[in-house]
Structure 1
Amino acid sequence: MNNLGPWNQVADDVALRLTRATSTAAQQYVDWQREFSDRLSRTSRGLLEGDRAGSASFEERSLSRLGARGAIPPSGRFGPYTPSALELHVRSRRLSIDDELSNMLRPSANGVFITRDPDGVLYIYKPFHQEYYGDQNWLPHVDGQLAIREVAGYRVFELIDAPRVPPTALVDGPRGPGMAQLYVPLKRSKPESNYLETHRAQTAMGHFLVGNADGNEGNHRPRHNGNPAHHPDDDLVAYDLGYSFPESRDPLRGTGEEGEEDGTEFSFLSPFIRAWDGATFPQHVLDPVDALTPDRMGSALEDLKLGDSAIDGALERLAYVHRNHTIHGDSFTASQ
């Protein structure tokens, strides 16, 4: 049974299939993407071995140097957290991969699949073992760290009453533990300034609180409502929050050579943060943030086993908003 509440209207793939059936250009693009994906798979196949087939190429690019810190469990400062009904619904889904639709996805550094639940509802699914951490020295290079950040990002947007991120949860998926997020058909990207003010302000606030380092134009797009043309009232959808919640840096996580920069330092990456840096937010956007207590936010993040420094950084950003009723664009973590 579908219990997705306000997201019910996007819980099918009608718009996607109509677009594919009526757009020759779109079909040609899909064919090109499939051909590119096939070539990429053939190239990477030689890197796979034994029972680690399907993940070795990702792991090889994610290795930290000897002695790098792994994920550090939180210290247990906060009380228990009860996920929302929407998150619990997604968590309960039994998913199977839709190969046809998955083959349409653009090539990605991480493993990404489109899956279906028994009701036919589509979800994006990303397994733990196919995560790619790059050379970020503020992010533990441990399977599942991107997935828990995706869910943590959804929780923060949910806690501030900003329905910009589709329902997301940790799942035991068809290729092992991972995260699942309701699939939402999307239009092509458009500039930050071309969305509704409320949507822009909510996304800026959410990106700031989670510490988003990957809010590029490809990671926020208008929802496809059956009309592929842009419209001022387009519903803004934000996603791909895995590169968020920075922890204290560890130079040994980086992949720089001797004498070079040891890994990538954390910095915000979001046009919404840039646009709203120091700006006056609508009161209806500020009110739920003002009502969000550190204990409530801390319990939501600790429940996902984010490290203390990642939680402290998020709480510092929350405290900044409480004090100043705005956000800033200067990146910082709890260790600074």
Structure 2
Amino acid sequence: MSTPDLVTDELTLTGRITTASNATFLGSIGDAMVVYKPIAGESPLWDFPDGALAHREVAAYLVSQVFGWDVVPRTWLRDGPMGEGMVQLWQEQDPTQNAVDLVAADQVPETGWKHVLEGQDENGRMVALVHEDSKALRRMAVFDIVVNNADRKGDHILAMPGGHRHGVDHGLTFHHDPKLRTVLWGWLGDALSEEELDGIDRVSEGLHGELGQNLADLLSTDEIDSLAARCARLRLARQFPPPSGEMPAVPWPLF
């Protein structure tokens, strides 16, 4: 069987993801399973009024590639049954793993996990939001800070076999104002590793070359300038920053 051309071969829809807030479809290109989000199916958002969310998803993938950590699955723009949209390779996650979880407040694991916050569930019981303390998830948290991810829900983290973690749903990224909303606050104030700092440097340098040229087709000049400024601030601080801005620090719902 020949390898499909993911840009030009026919994209066939096979189903719809009804839990998504925007039109999101499952499809196939040859034998490759994909997710397809047409620009025509995007709902207007008051705080992201400019540009297509699909463009931001592709921009997030490009930044992920420069980081070199494979946070975002392959993502690209192409035509489809409902017009131009974002297409992303489908990822089959491990159903036995959870990178983020809600547990009883008195049962937070002592090791291997980070405690983010506590609250009451619908039955009035105290629960805690926790996430694993892993290298893969730290990388995702750094990526989210740089791209200013306003919607890192627990279900936007795919636990892959072997321990890798993919992040998906990056339409709410790259705003020029502070918008970081995430469930991954467990390393707040911790020092960044040299590897993480090197990744930030690669993005900063890339903005003066091919990365910057490619992002210019997807984001505004102000958004690219803000991306560069976030890299510079994070590099100078050398630690995971606290929440900022007027919005809540975590998305809702959490999952």
TM-score, normalized by length of structure 1? 0.57
Q: Shift of the alpha carbon at 1:283?
A: 2.1
Contact conserved, 1:122 with 1:183, CA < 8 A, in 2?
Answer: yes
Q: Shift of the alpha carbon at 1:177?
A: 0.3
Q: 1:300 aligns with which of 214, 239, 246?
A: 214
**Distance in structure 2 (CA, Å) of the matches to 1:196 and 1:93:** 41
Aligned to 1:238: 167
Q: 1:112 aligns with which of 1, 24, 31?
A: 24
Answering whether residue 36 of structure 2 is matched by residue 125 of structure 1, we say yes
Aligned to 1:313: 226
Aligned to 1:167: 74
Aligned to 2:7: 91
Aligned to 1:330: 243
Contact conserved, 2:192 with 2:240, CA < 8 A, in 1?
Answer: no
Q: Shift of the alpha carbon at 1:162?
A: 1.4
CA gap 1:195/1:236 in 2 versus in 1, 3 angstroms: farther
Q: 1:178 aligns with which of 72, 82, 85?
A: 85
**Distance in structure 2 (CA, Å) of the matches to 1:93 and 1:208:** 35
**Distance in structure 1 (CA, Å) of the matches to 2:59 and 2:42:** 16
**Distance in structure 2 (CA, Å) of the matches to 1:279 and 1:166:** 27
CA RMSD of aligned residues (A): 2.5
Question: What's the secondary structure of 1:295's corresponding residue?
Answer: coil
Question: What's the secondary structure of 1:114's corresponding residue?
Answer: strand
Q: Which amino acid aligns with 2:73?
A: P
Contact conserved, 1:133 with 1:141, CA < 8 A, in 2?
Answer: no
Q: For structure 2, list consecutive stretches of 5 or more residues without a partner in the other structure.
A: 102-112, 114-130, 246-255
Answering whether residue 65 of structure 2 is matched by residue 155 of structure 1, we say no
Answering whether residue 77 of structure 2 is matched by residue 191 of structure 1, we say no
Q: Percent identity between the aligned chains? A: 24
Aligned to 1:213: 150
Q: Shift of the alpha carbon at 1:213?
A: 0.3
Give the alignment of 1:259-274 within 5 angstroms: 267-272=179-184, 274=185
CA gap 1:302/1:116 in 2 versus in 1, 3 angstroms: same
TM superposition outliers: structure 1 runs of 4+ over 4 Å: none
Structure that is richer in strand per residue: 2
CA gap 1:117/1:298 in 2 versus in 1, 3 angstroms: same
Question: What's the secondary structure of 1:181's corresponding residue?
Answer: strand
Q: Which amino acid aligns with 1:301?
A: L
Q: Shift of the alpha carbon at 1:203?
A: 0.2
Q: Which amino acid aligns with 1:287?
A: D
Contact conserved, 1:298 with 1:315, CA < 8 A, in 2?
Answer: no
Q: For structure 1, list consecutive stretches of 5 or more residues without a partner in the other structure.
A: 4-88, 226-232, 249-265
Count of equivalent residues: 212
**Distance in structure 1 (CA, Å) of the matches to 2:42 and 2:191:** 37
Q: Deviation per CA, 1:153-172: give whole Å up to 9, x if none.
A: 11111111111210000111
CA gap 1:316/1:246 in 2 versus in 1, 3 angstroms: same
**Distance in structure 2 (CA, Å) of the matches to 1:117 and 1:124:** 10
Q: Shift of the alpha carbon at 1:287?
A: 1.6
CA gap 1:269/1:2 in 2 versus in 1, 3 angstroms: farther
Q: Shift of the alpha carbon at 1:116?
A: 0.6
**Distance in structure 1 (CA, Å) of the matches to 2:141 and 2:89:** 22
Q: Deviation per CA, 1:247-305: give whole Å up to 9, x if none.
A: 46xxxxxxxxxxxxxxxxx6311122x2233322232232232233141343232132x
Q: 1:281 aligns with which of 188, 192, 195?
A: 192
Question: What's the secondary structure of 2:163's corresponding residue?
Answer: coil
Q: Which has the larger radius of gyration?
A: 1
**Distance in structure 2 (CA, Å) of the matches to 1:270 and 1:183:** 23
Aligned to 1:55: none
Contact conserved, 2:68 with 2:199, CA < 8 A, in 1?
Answer: yes
Question: Which deviates further from its counterpart, 171-180 or 127-136?
Answer: 127-136
**Distance in structure 1 (CA, Å) of the matches to 2:44 and 2:94:** 28
Q: Shift of the alpha carbon at 1:195?
A: 4.1
**Distance in structure 2 (CA, Å) of the matches to 1:195 and 1:93:** 39
Contact conserved, 1:198 with 1:285, CA < 8 A, in 2?
Answer: no
Contact conserved, 2:66 with 2:202, CA < 8 A, in 1?
Answer: no
Contact conserved, 2:22 with 2:41, CA < 8 A, in 1?
Answer: yes
